[in-house]
A and B are shown apart, each in its own frame.
Chain A
Amino acid sequence: MAYVVERKPLSLSERLYIPQVLAGMKTTLKHFFAPNVTMEYPEQRPAIPPGYRGVPTLVKDPHGREKCVSCQLCEFVCPPKAIRITPGEIPADAANAHVEKGPKAFDIDMLRCIYCGLCQEVCPEEAIWLQNQYSMSGYTREEMVNNKERLYELGGTLPDQHFKWDKKKAAEQRGNAHH
């Protein structure tokens, strides 16, 4: 419901205009001497709230193993098709060998990524996380594509005490192929 705001007649000092302007100048002068309220970004960083969805990263489990099994669900679900996974096997004698596969290459094109977080939602291994890194910049398009090394470097290790692969591997060694 629209209603008309009655405009009050101006008082004498308002009609003279000068006192009002001077009052305004007093206010701005106060701001002139007040300390700055800006955060000077590269030197000062804002506090990132928990649960912030920043740059998608890959994480390792506390044993330093890759969690990703290159199921490609995140690649499939990614709306702007920013993720590209080349699946690969993990050699049986590798230090980080486990029963599943691992990605040979894992690229996220940050020029395409829309930070939707669907990859994190869909990941069955909780290997891909949107963490609190929010500042991505580069001079070339190539620089803006995060490869596997970069993703692990950004992601680091999550202190998750649920060692799924240890249990799975132990079950396999007990002769139980499917747990």
Chain B
Amino acid sequence: MRKKLLSIFLCIVMAVTMLTGCGGKSTTTGKDGGSKKEDTKKDDEKPTATPAVTTVGEGTPLEMWTFVELHSKFYAKMVDKWNKENPDKKVKITFTTYPYADMHNKLTMALQTGEGAPDLCDVEIGQFPNFTKDTSSLYPLDDAIKPYQDKLVKARLDIYSKDGKIYGAPTHVGATVMYYNTKILKQYGIDYTKIKTWDDYAAAGEKLKKASNGKVMMTSVDTASVDWMWIAMSEYGEDWTTTKDGKANVQLKSVKKMLNMQAKWLKDKIAMVSPGGHVDMEEGFANIGDGKIASFPKALWYMSRFLSYMPEMKGQWAIAPCPVFEEGQPRSVGIGGTGTIVTQQSKNAKLAAEFIAYAKCSEEGEKGIWNELGFDVCNTSIWNDESITKDKTNKYLQYFVTNPFDVLNEVKDEIGKINVKEISTTINSQMCDTTLNEIFEDGVSVDDALQEAQDAVDSEQ
């Protein structure tokens, strides 16, 4: 009997160990799983599937991880400039580009175990709260950023700060604007400059539907991104991460208004659901490129997507402030971003911090960010620097019908800020996995879906 029991036990043990052994070999894909859950997308082209490693410069060796290859290319150029300007503090940086989710997971584990983290690392804003849960593993950047601080948009430094210390060097403002396809709108006799409110927007959508026989829709609503909610919250000055009692609340007036409005658009067939869940992925680019939708709101960093994925649409797209629910509301919100961190594991943390502050926050760096990556930089003096804003050779200024800097200066004081906190990751995954799908795909009522979302968020706080 005992033998029998023992043998059965051993059999189970063997089976379990064998199976988990098989299951333990997991590899992750280069596909971005992050943007579905995070409230922000890549600032740039899709991450590569294989880690690309390059070493630049000569001097103190540093290691840096990014999730966008273009970023490493930009930093590499800044290494050369830094070494020219600081011959006594030369750096030699080895850049590794990982897929989005892999890089953040690797960094989490490296900081948790206290081994193997790089000196510098790009962290996407949606992931940032996961790393500031415990700031002991991050090196504060206050001293390094100080020389440039007065010229930077303070709100962008705040989102990467905790307890009064800055832990991430910002990349851009991420002002959200409306992109309009002027070619389509003109063809059907619609003047986008007249659109001021969401009611105007819906009316234009109706007109477009009739004129084009339902071939073109006004926009596409997202099931895997919360950008639209952010726009609504900014307009009403609300923020779902922080309400009066300091708790997160997704049942806000602004969110309800936006969701009900979008559900109505779908019913009236003036909008479609974004193929693939949101516009910042292959299916989305194809949908825009095929002229199926005439407009959509997105942060200014989306300009680079046009150049990368829809170069043939040059001269068709205009940029304008977002419509509002009631005239006089703020017409933009800062979405997305990458904060670059320096880890405490770095042997040369001070040097790494000085370099990254120079590369991202100095005038030189900011100009580079605009020219290379096409981002609306945090240094507002550049927004009025005519050598930049009127630069005829710039590929971004050439592509669009309107000048992005005009729009940026117009909404300069209306760019709302939504906090990204620890609870944000829960809110976003609940919204993008469940709530938005229920409302837009399954026809669940907005109130029910939001109540369910609130319950899920409450269980986390």
A binds B: no
